[in-house]
Amino acid sequence: MRTRHWKAAAMALLMGVTPAIYTSAPANAGSVTIKVTPKGKPAKAVKKGLTFLSRVQEARNRVRVEQYGSDNGAYVSQSGGGNWLGVFQRGSGHTATASQDGNNNTLGIFQFGKNTSTNTAQTGDGEFGLIFQGGW
């Protein structure tokens, strides 16, 4: 049981510090997107940790948007309860559109460099996903 809590805490910490360790992108034009949708035990551990956090915080929906740079946009909508959505943008020209419709969904979007875009929706209960994008 302790191992599961530790893994959830480690994933939450990773999600929080990833934007802080970003370095600038190369000068070539382009971008890369990585979508992570864990299954099995790792997904359950992170979901349990964030669900516990939501319950402690009265099962309200949570959105956190951090934007450093210029011309960035984040558009989010949530319905249901216990949802958590984080958008972390570093650089310029990023666009993130995300919606959560259901309960206890978790989504982290990390955009670095310049000119990346994502449009993501979570529908249902207990969905989990991470999106990492880098543009240059």
pLDDT band at 20 (very low <50, low <70, confident <90, very high): very low
Reply yes or no on whether the pLDDT at 13 is more than 60.
Answer: no
Mean predicted confidence (pLDDT) in 129-133? 93
Q: Are 105 and 126 in contact (CB under 8 A)?
A: yes
Distances in whole angstroms, Cα of residue 126 to Cα of each of 1, 37, 94, 129, 130: 20, 12, 27, 10, 14
Domains of the chain: which residue ranges?
2-19+32-135
| From 35-44, 52-61, 70-79, the region with the lowest mean pLDDT | 52-61
Cα distance between residue 132 and residue 30, in whole Å: 14
Q: Are 80 and 105 in contact (CB under 8 A)?
A: yes
Structure tokens at 86: 């984080």
| Residue 29 CB neighbour total at 10 angstroms | 9
Please state the pTM of the whole predicted model. Answer: 0.66
Q: Tens of pLDDT along 58-103?
A: 567 889 999 999 999 999 999 998 899 999 999 999 999 999 999 9
